[in-house]
Amino acid sequence: MVYYRFDGTFDGLLTAVFQAFERHETPDRLLAPDGIVPLFYDVLHEVETDGEKARRVWLKLGKTLSRASLSGLTTAFLTDNPEFPDMAFRYICRAVTSDGSIENDFSDPAVLSVLKECRRVRGEAHRLLQFVRFQKAADGTYFAMVEPLFDVLPMAVSHFCDRFNDQRFILYDRARDYGYYYDGEEVRRMSIDTDSSYMNTGRLTDEMMDADERLFQRLWRTYFKATAIQQRMNPRKQRQDMPERYWKYLTEMNGCD
């Protein structure tokens, strides 16, 4: 059995493809850096990420895949599914060797898995658009904390810059400890380095809040309760569409009035 191990980056994945052709091998599996090495193997090759080799594979991919599929592949790569790098490896190998386009061959597990993982990642990015809740701080900046499953903040931030183009805001990913600050003109990546309580709860303290913030939070919670119809309660459906892992930072699911 031939195993390749790469460093977990997208360039590393592309380099692995390059080296498989260079070494005239068909690896049985591509292992992630923290992947468990099987007990028995013939070859364990450590792929050394090489920007130039990655670039050449990417160029070749650009010739066989549509732009939509290319972006689908990079999006899917953000998934946390440990099986995915191996699937992506097969997908790329098949794409660069076949004559026609293979991106619509949904009978191939690799093609199907790119589609499915891409859908999962995009779903998570969409949930950011849904469930981000801003709080207004005393200085007029709006602050929101999130903990998405995948690193999808970069996919969502342009939506917020477009929508709230006249308001300063911070959108912060607590799980990966970075965020974006938009000053009304430009957006930039930043980290907040403090142990203050708001960084742990995601909720601004009373001193930090704008004078009216509490009132509007209460108004929102009031509305949220009043709009539900008692005769058709369905908490299961609520959980299905609004997973519990988001509740921590949702204004309407926290605080009592």
Work out how close the CB of 6 gets to other proteins at its nearest, in angstroms, rounded to a whole number.
26
State which of residues 44, 70, 96, 250 lies at the interface with other proteins (CB under 8 A): 250
Of 31 and 155, the one with the shorter C-beta distance to other proteins is 155
CB 81 within 8 A of CB 117: yes
Work out how close the CB of 17 gets to other proteins at its nearest, in angstroms, rounded to a whole number.
21
Of 21 and 220, the one with the shorter C-beta distance to other proteins is 220
CB 52 within 8 A of CB 11: no
Query: Judged by CB under 8 A, does residue 40 bind other proteins?
Result: no
Work out how close the CB of 144 gets to other proteins at its nearest, in angstroms, rounded to a whole number.
7
State which of residues 166, 193, 207, 244 lies at the interface with other proteins (CB under 8 A): 166
Q: Using a CB cutoff of 8 Å and minimum separation of 24, what contacts does 15-20 make?
A: 15/47, 15/48, 15/49, 15/50, 15/53, 15/54, 15/57, 16/47, 16/89, 17/57, 17/89, 17/92, 17/93, 17/96, 18/50, 18/53, 18/54, 18/56, 18/57, 19/45, 19/47, 19/53, 20/93
Of 34 and 206, the one with the shorter C-beta distance to other proteins is 206
State which of residues 175, 222, 245, 255 lies at the interface with other proteins (CB under 8 A): 222
In angstroms, the CA 14 to CA 49 distance is 8
Query: Judged by CB under 8 A, does residue 159 bind other proteins?
Result: yes
Main-chain phi, psi angles of 146, to 5 degrees: -140, 165
Q: What is the contact surface with other proteins in residues (CB under 8 A)?
A: 102, 104-109, 112, 126, 129-136, 142, 144, 159-160, 162-167, 212, 215-216, 218-220, 222-238, 240-242, 250-252
